[in-house]
Structure 1
Amino acid sequence: MTFPPLRPELAGIEPYGAPQLDVPVQLNVNENPYGPSEECVADIAASAAEAARTLNRYPDRELVALRAALASYLSGDVAGEIAPEQVWAANGSNEVMLQLLQAFGGPGRTALSFAPTYSMYPEYARDTMTAWVAGRREDDFSLDLDRARALVEDVRPHVVLLPSPNNPTGTALPPSAVDELCGAVGDSGIVVVDEAYGEFRRTGVPSALEQLPAHRNLVVTRTMSKAFAAAGLRLGYLAADPAICDAIRVVRLPYHLSAVTQATALAALRHAAELLGKVDELRAERDRTVDWLRDQGFEAADSDANFVLFGRFEDRHAVWKGLLDRGVLIRETGPDGWLRVSIGTGDEMIAFQKALMEVTT
């Protein structure tokens, strides 16, 4: 008998995680390279200290103040208004996704996405004993809506996961894709549009939040880890029909968001304008990076995120290792032959460009 008595399907599997290496230029996990101001830090510290005075008591398990603040923030991204009862939050968008699969997936149920896509999705399915089906994106990483709808109608999934912008390709979905697949799924399932990088989308690219009134089976997820420059906070959230939020409350662990996390998130939201203040600069740097890569003869996918997928390489690991040897850490992910670089500061991107040319020429 093998010890420990692990579930058989988990045997031999390595835990998920990008390399955490101490190098000068870290461009591998899509963080915002610009930290909070001293004023923001002071507000967060004071808020955490106030929460610390109540640590003998359990936190608000319904996250009332936080849900109201998040609803107010999201309402600035739509023509209408998002109500607090349409919002839910958890420890990063990872836990939000896991809770969705716990509530709407499970044994005898199916989750579906379109590869290449976020590598954690099949892990959420595995962990909740949900069957996993992956369709394929086109060569330009877009969705053929006729083929996508046909697959949904054939599989009849209970959860459809649609990152927009997509990770690792940076590709945003048109509103027609959301309408089409929400219609195909109907009331037998939910369609989750994962907008972890939504604040980085290009001008004129709408958020799926605008489509919430039209589709009660639509869920839009966000995170404070990326544009909000709060990866260390671990705060993700969603907007959906209130009935979906109520369903998630059935499976969430009691008091899953600590008092300190809630207080810190509320403080960060008070400084939203500042924390999001570098988004335009990062967008511009991203677009310059795409242009530069193409000018050097590489392929680079159009991106609405804060990263760029580029290639193609016969031995991408050798390129990744060559960059690492020069103090630049990027991500070896996505389709074979491609690499992904997060957008950093101007100096960090110059260091990336210099190292890449040394490795590939």
Structure 2
Amino acid sequence: MTGLADLPLREELRGRSPYGAPQRDVAVRLNTNENAHPVPAEVVDAVAEAVRAELAGLNRYPDRDAVALRAALADYLGHGLGVDQVWAANGSNEVQQQLLQAFAGPGRAALGFGPAYSMHPLLALGTGTRWIGATRGADFDLTPAHAAAQVAAHRPDVVLVCAPNNPTGTALAPATLAAILDAAPGIVVVDEAYAEFARAGQRSALELLPGRPRLVVTRTMSKAFGFAGGRLGYLAADAAVVEAVQLVRLPYHLSTLTQAAGRAALAHRAALLGTVEAVKEQRDRIVATLRRRGHPVADSDANFVLFGVAGDQARVWERLVARGVLVRDVGLAGWLRVTAGTPAETDAFLGALEEIA
């Protein structure tokens, strides 16, 4: 049987594994930062109706520029954004891939501050972009001086920074983003996949877009909207950035059905986003409970919590799985990440961890 070793694979891909979280058949799955609450019935009906209305026309290609969907996304984001400043694709990963295709690639470099979203260096690898792994502080913080110094030292073509950060949940201070923008010679991409879960007082990078044509904010409907299966991500930026990604996007990359489902979901966003406060309540409950028990816990503005454990985190992960609870081992020694789920799922996680801690 032919294996990868027998194929003329690019050398930099040899020995690598596809991205993905380990899946186990357990009762409580809190490892992929999904919204644990099901899509409300009214949204199910609206999406079904919208998709059904398109079925007879599937012999035709979709709107290759997804104008109606982008208009709906601009309306949701606000901040005076127009349709020409918004772009959409199959998840924010594809949006970020398109940004790297347009502004990075062979002979260019992208920089991120680790520990951060593990897909970013893989996107760089896939686009032939040199990846520069910058660092955060000991408490996963990112100060303006530390961030700017690393950007200035490497002068990357693209900077990718998560706000809040994944896997730590750490917020990005406006002063730090401003310092990165001042130091960066190229594009700065702020990945706001979890922005809707931020605690009161946290500000979005969307506020800084006017007058900053090299700033891009990416978001997703997978998390707060509970629409992960819909695979819809988007960006907000200067209109020239949207023109740039249109140069590299595949033709008709967003299907007619995805566009219809996305528009229907956005039209019912109040119902979909109605679970955000419930998720934040469970997140804060996890943080408070684990700290009370003596676990180190990173401050979180996302729908997950990074917490410290004694000993080998891989062993703790296995013992939690044995008790029917799946969390994420993100490869940080002594740390695990848990998604904030339903109250019952939080009960199961906290109970299982207490048994083995």
Equivalent residues in 2 for 1:143-222, closer than 5 Å: 143-185=142-184, 188-222=185-219
Show structure 1 runs of 4+ deviating over 6 A: none
- Structure 1 pair 197–2 and aligned structure 2 pair: CA distance change class (3 A): closer
Query: Is the 8 Å Cα contact of residues 144 and 177 (structure 2) preserved in structure 1?
Result: no
Query: Is the 8 Å Cα contact of residues 169 and 334 (structure 1) preserved in structure 2?
Result: no
CA distance in 2, matches of 1:139, 1:2: 39
CA distance in 2, matches of 1:334, 1:195: 22
Tell me which residue corresponds to 2:339. Answer: 342
Query: Is the 8 Å Cα contact of residues 116 and 334 (structure 1) preserved in structure 2?
Result: no
Tell me which residue corresponds to 2:135. Answer: 136
Greater shift, 140-149 or 101-110, is seen at 140-149
Letter in 2 for 1:189: G
Tell me which residue corresponds to 1:102. Answer: 101
Equivalent residues in 2 for 1:1-361, closer than 5 Å: 2-75=5-78, 80-185=79-184, 188-360=185-357
**Alpha-carbon offset, residue 144 of structure 1:** 2.5
Letter in 2 for 1:310: F
SS of corresponding position for 1:273:
helix
Query: Is the 8 Å Cα contact of residues 111 and 130 (structure 1) preserved in structure 2?
Result: yes
CA distance in 1, matches of 2:262, 2:55: 14
SS of corresponding position for 2:253:
coil
**Alpha-carbon offset, residue 313 of structure 1:** 2.9
CA distance in 2, matches of 1:313, 1:124: 33
Letter in 2 for 1:311: G
- TM-score w.r.t. structure 2 length? 0.97
Letter in 1 for 2:354: M
Query: Is the 8 Å Cα contact of residues 26 and 328 (structure 1) preserved in structure 2?
Result: yes
Greater shift, 176-185 or 120-129, is seen at 176-185
CA distance in 2, matches of 1:243, 1:41: 36
Equivalent residues, number: 354
CA distance in 1, matches of 2:233, 2:5: 37
**Alpha-carbon offset, residue 2 of structure 1:** 4.7
SS of corresponding position for 1:232:
helix
CA deviation map 1:263-315 (0-9, x unaligned)? 00001101100100011111121111101000011011000000000013321
Query: Is the 8 Å Cα contact of residues 309 and 316 (structure 2) preserved in structure 1?
Result: no
Query: Is the 8 Å Cα contact of residues 168 and 334 (structure 1) preserved in structure 2?
Result: no
CA distance in 1, matches of 2:345, 2:157: 42
Query: Is the 8 Å Cα contact of residues 196 and 221 (structure 1) preserved in structure 2?
Result: yes
CA deviation map 1:173-203 (0-9, x unaligned)? 0111111111111xx4110000000000000
Runs of 5+ in structure 2 lacking a partner?
A: none
CA distance in 1, matches of 2:116, 2:39: 30
- TM-score w.r.t. structure 1 length? 0.96
Give the percent of matched residue pairs that are identical in Structure 1 and Structure 2. 56
**Alpha-carbon offset, residue 66 of structure 1:** 0.3
Greater shift, 243-252 or 49-58, is seen at 49-58
The CA RMSD over aligned residues, in Å, is 1.1
Query: Is the 8 Å Cα contact of residues 225 and 231 (structure 1) preserved in structure 2?
Result: yes
**Alpha-carbon offset, residue 147 of structure 1:** 2.3
